[in-house]
Structure 1
Amino acid sequence: MEQPPLPRPSSGADRRRARDLGIVIGSADTGPLNAITDVPGVRVGHSTVRREPDVHSGVTAVVPHPVGPRTPRPAGVFTGNGYGKLIGTTQLAELGTLETPVLLTSTLSAFRVADALVGWMLQRPGCEEVLSLNPVVGECNDGLLSDIRARPVREEHVRAALDTASGGPVAEGCVGAGTGTVALGFKAGIGTASRVPDLAGRRFTAGVLVQANFGGTLRILGRTLTPASFGADGPAPASVAGSCMIVVATDAPLDARQLTRVARRAVFALARTGASYSHGSGDYAIAFGTASASGAPVADADLGPLFEAVLDGVEEAVLNSLLAATTTTGFGGRTAPALPVDLLLENLAAPPHHPSVTTG
């Protein structure tokens, strides 16, 4: 699909999503909201914990309905680089089922969040006799901008995110688990997108949500944008370390093995954005299905458009996380600048630079 002309740069006073700026990734249709909540039965909730200037953190809940130990969802997980604390991953991988919402938070708060999730689940209808439960909690390190050792995310924040989770538009950028995260040298956070691929004549929805917090050099539409591309408004000196948590939901009738294949593509997609996949990066994806068990399964040979949809969706969700975020100064006076929209559009509109090649 040919990239449409990009609009003239704006004043940069407002933060807009990629498609609002004319940046279109892939050719598949999006869902009506271009969000993970386009998948029927999926809700998202955030609880933001901010105490200026030292705390910029929170928790984000992705809640499929129904989900529980009596109504598990088929699921798969893929680890691109395992420098992280994805609680609940071994049982999820072993059984191929998800029995709680997926929560995202700050590294040192992950364990409190898992405990709070267990308490919330045990009070759900149908869980009165439950004696075993596998909470799934992912994390990114927001210690650049937040006092991570304070472990500010507590039970009341977890319950607020779960209890207020809803369908509809999803808040992005500096919210929930993305309040203190940084990616590719710029302030990032939560981002989401969706696609509606055609699988052998049947249309399904795939939605993604990312908690972006990884190193590398920004790449958009195949073009690498170096720090020099942004001049004085360029990225902060960025660590090569970092992480990204990705959640994929789909109403396509897939089993756990197929969902694991989907999760792999979600992590692969980070390379399109310029991710460095460094030693200290925890890059994970969880993919779950919402279809009823009675649905006719999708054949492996027909999964190609879904894989492409997830690749495109993750790429766009990361970009949305950057575009929605705002410049943040946090713990220790450290600042993560927002991605400058005006300069971004100028760089994308300029002819690509091709270094000359000489032969001996």
Structure 2
Amino acid sequence: MHSPRRVRELGVVVGTLPTGPLNAITDVPGVLVGQTTITGDGLNTGVTAIVPDGWADALPAAVAVGNGYGKLVGTTQLDELGVIETPILLTGTLSTFRVADALITWLLDRDPRATSLNPIVGETNDGYLSDIRRRPVTSADVHTALDTASSALPAEGCVGAGTGTTALGFKAGIGTASRSLRPAPGVGGVPGAVGVLVQANFSGLLTVLGRPIPAPRIDADGNSCMIVVATDLPLDSRQLGRLARRAIFAMGRVGSDYAPGSGDYAIAFTTARAASYADRDLRAPFQAVTEATEEALLNSLTMATTTTGFRGRTARALPHHLITDALAGH
């Protein structure tokens, strides 16, 4: 049994851009994360809430769909208007609609005049390790995740919406990472941060910095990935859509096989209000989101622990020595 460690603690440095202070989505100013974890009695599930400052006044946003085999509540309005007007919540597949309803209640309590709301709730299928048909997530679980959201380093691995997920043959879960952009003099763009949080639950052959690491097969139900990208760069919704697509591309860097039953989605939003970023300057943000997504996915694995759940099924944690051995001498 190993202790959870972030991938950088194992000597793995993804890309060349510097990280933010926490190397997390909460490095983006005004972005908070809260989580509720549900375990025991055949359950391994929960809720992860991404709560950006200013959500009530609508923030520029976009969604990218790698494969639409999933449930992502609120996407049509998000795509039509190019904004989010609520926090973004993640959970297990069959709890999606209970979480959306609980989010609406939370929102109505804060705005007595509201008559139309567009909750954003995504999911992956944690039915291999959790009795998914019980739909155990309650309104109290959702409200706790929202009310306790903070700017601290979010917990990773077997927590929140990642409590019962697996990826690339190993136990996975929640992962996060960030990149800091400080354009050099004479280079286009403005300073800012790009942060990513993932709920990893997909198949393929784990690949770390280009080196494959075989894993035992897990016959898990459903293989999907939810990716949330946050930034404070002054991007419009079209440009955020371009960032979101790069996040899905980054799944391939860790070995995703983009299986036909996988719901692979990325939502990107900015806390900046006025778009003023030139398309020709997007190279650095593209690199930032690609690197941060790759590292967040690896963190979701190295921070997870072996879990036994529903019907005695077990998903084993990624042995850290497999990474260090594969990268020895490189």
TM-score range, shorter chain: over 0.9
**253, 265, 269: which is aligned to 1:272?**
253
Identity within the alignment, %: 61
Counterpart CA distance in 2 for 1:153 and 1:17 is 28
1:346 shift after superposition: 1.2
Q: Could you tell which deviates more after superposition, 166-175 or 192-201?
A: 192-201
Q: Is the 8 A contact 2:127 2:221 kept in 1?
A: no
* Corresponding residue number in structure 2 for 1:88: 74
Counterpart CA distance in 2 for 1:108 and 1:240 is 12
Alignment of 1:1-360 (within 5 A): 13-52=2-41, 54-68=42-56, 71-124=57-110, 127-199=111-183, 200=188, 202-227=190-215, 235-238=216-219, 241-293=222-274, 297-349=276-328
Number of aligned residue pairs:
326
TM-score where L is the length of structure 2: 0.96
Q: Which has the larger radius of gyration?
A: 1
Q: Could you tell which deviates more after superposition, 108-117 or 217-226?
A: 217-226
Question: Given residue 130 of structure 1, which amino acid in structure 2 is its aligned partner?
Answer: A
Counterpart CA distance in 1 for 2:222 and 2:256 is 10
Q: Is the 8 A contact 2:128 2:221 kept in 1?
A: no
Q: Is the 8 A contact 1:184 1:238 kept in 2?
A: no
RMSD, matched Cα = 1.3
Counterpart CA distance in 2 for 1:350 and 1:57 is 39
Q: Is the 8 A contact 2:2 2:319 kept in 1?
A: no
Q: Alpha carbons of 1:184 and 1:238: their partners in 2 closer, same or farther (altered >3 Å)?
A: farther
Question: Given residue 134 of structure 2, which amino acid in structure 1 is its aligned partner?
Answer: A
Deviations 1:90-149, CA, capped at 9 Å, x for gaps: 00000000000000000000000000000001112xx22111000000000000000000
* Corresponding residue number in structure 2 for 1:356: none
Question: Given residue 171 of structure 2, which amino acid in structure 1 is its aligned partner?
Answer: K
Q: Is the 8 A contact 2:129 2:165 kept in 1?
A: yes
1:197 shift after superposition: 2.2
Q: Is the 8 A contact 1:193 1:314 kept in 2?
A: yes
Counterpart CA distance in 2 for 1:343 and 1:129 is 55
Question: Given residue 17 of structure 1, which amino acid in structure 2 is its aligned partner?
Answer: R
1:202 shift after superposition: 2.2
1:66 shift after superposition: 1.4
Deviations 1:249-286, CA, capped at 9 Å, x for gaps: 00000011110111000111000010011110000000
Q: Is the 8 A contact 2:63 2:244 kept in 1?
A: yes
Deviations 1:199-249, CA, capped at 9 Å, x for gaps: 52522100000000000010010111123xxxxxxx343459400000000
Q: Is the 8 A contact 2:127 2:220 kept in 1?
A: no
* Corresponding residue number in structure 2 for 1:9: none
Unaligned runs of 5+ in 2: none
Question: Given residue 266 of structure 1, which amino acid in structure 2 is its aligned partner?
Answer: A
Counterpart CA distance in 2 for 1:74 and 1:292 is 7
Counterpart CA distance in 2 for 1:349 and 1:300 is 39
Unaligned runs of 5+ in 1: 1-11, 228-234, 352-360
Counterpart CA distance in 2 for 1:15 and 1:46 is 18
Q: Is the 8 A contact 1:25 1:221 kept in 2?
A: yes
Counterpart CA distance in 2 for 1:201 and 1:165 is 30
* Corresponding residue number in structure 2 for 1:8: none
Deviations 1:56-108, CA, capped at 9 Å, x for gaps: 0000000001112xx00000000000000000000000000000000000000
Question: Given residue 92 of structure 1, which amino acid in structure 2 is its aligned partner?
Answer: L
TM-score where L is the length of structure 1: 0.88
Counterpart CA distance in 2 for 1:114 and 1:178 is 18
Counterpart CA distance in 2 for 1:269 and 1:13 is 27
